[in-house]
Amino acid sequence: MGQKAITVCFYVVFWVKEDMTALPILPHGTTAKPLQSGPLQRPSDGPTTHKLFDLWEEAQKRLWKPKFWWQNLMLRKGFDLTFIKPHEFRLLVPAHQLTDCDNCTEVCCTGPNSRVSLGLLDQARLIDAGLSHAIQQGPHGVNDSANKLWAQSASEESLFFRGFPVLKRDATQTCALLNENLSCGAFPHWPMSCERYPFAVNLENKTVFWAEGCASLHEVHEPEALLRGRQLFHAAIETYNQRIRDVILLYVAMPELADMGLLRHLSLHGTLERRRKKLLAAKTH
């Protein structure tokens, strides 16, 4: 199996695993919000998020500059950077099947497996929303047995799984942002994994499926159900693509990410980790 094929497998394992375990809740009244065929409309983003979008524009140009040839080589050696497109994927979820969060008994934002990995964009949105206190270093950065077990059950090779932060949880293993009335305290600034849950991407057979972790579903025979299904489908695709942007940004725009406070909770390895530590050390002097 070639390097790229291996990388793809890791992606699939990571996402499937996450979908069976990371368990967001849809806020009450979600389906009453304005609907569109793309991902859920978010309110205007804040300064950190805007900077990240601008940085992504710049990173795409950098990738092809001679100065960044080494980073480009390393990226392509280690990762499959192919963005996935909605028309290439088949939706396995029946058209009218939706989550029934209001009547759900699972409460998927709590429990031993309710962890949500945070990409760069997720962190930027939480920072802009004043919720940075909910960002916590990932399983390899936290020294408790539950975290270690979780880390061992996943692909040790996944940069995202190992290196990116997670949403903080309390002693009862409940997301720190879950409100007393069981609605999401981060909505609409919630992480992309929460937004698209329980829809999930399977790269191997190019499908978007309903994650096993969510057993509370119902049929809604209204036009808006179709749109809601399309939103979740697009959100699942976009969540995957955002991870590709994240890894490119890490390789070609790390100093800017440090300035934006987006490296603080990461735990990388090798050259990337050495660069990260150096940049953070320089900022404290």
Contact residues: ligand SF4, CB under 6 A: 23-26, 99-101, 104, 106, 108-109, 116, 167, 175, 177-178, 184, 186, 190-191, 194, 197-198, 214, 216
Q: Is the dihedral of CA 51, 26, 165, 128 positive or negative?
A: positive
In the complex, minimum distance from the CB of residue 104 to ligand SF4, in angstroms, rounded to a whole number: 3
In the complex, minimum distance from the CB of residue 167 to ligand SF4, in angstroms, rounded to a whole number: 5
| SS3 per residue for 184-248 | ECCCCCCCHHHHHCCEEEECCCCEEEECCCCCCEEECCCHHHHHHHHHHHHHHHHHHHHHHHHHH
Calpha distance 146→136 (Å, rounded): 15
Calpha distance 203→13 (Å, rounded): 10
∠121-125-130 over CA atoms, to 5°?
A: 150
Nearer to ligand SF4, 154 or 253 (CB): 154
Nearer to ligand SF4, 214 or 236 (CB): 214
In the complex, minimum distance from the CB of residue 228 to ligand SF4, in angstroms, rounded to a whole number: 12
In the complex, minimum distance from the CB of residue 263 to ligand SF4, in angstroms, rounded to a whole number: 22
Nearer to ligand SF4, 59 or 214 (CB): 214
**The CA-based dihedral angle spanning residues 233, 132, 106, 141, taken in that order and rounded to the nearest 10 degrees:** 100
Nearer to ligand SF4, 161 or 199 (CB): 199
Nearer to ligand SF4, 48 or 114 (CB): 114
Nearer to ligand SF4, 101 or 254 (CB): 101
Task: State the DSSP code for 263.
Answer: S
In the complex, minimum distance from the CB of residue 91 to ligand SF4, in angstroms, rounded to a whole number: 17
In the complex, minimum distance from the CB of residue 21 to ligand SF4, in angstroms, rounded to a whole number: 11
Burial of 130 (0-12, 13-18, 19+ CB in 10 A): exposed
Nearer to ligand SF4, 116 or 254 (CB): 116
Distances (CA, A) of 211 to 14, 66, 184: 13, 43, 19
In the complex, minimum distance from the CB of residue 131 to ligand SF4, in angstroms, rounded to a whole number: 9
Q: Which of 245, 202, 200, 238 is nearest to 79 (CA)?
A: 245
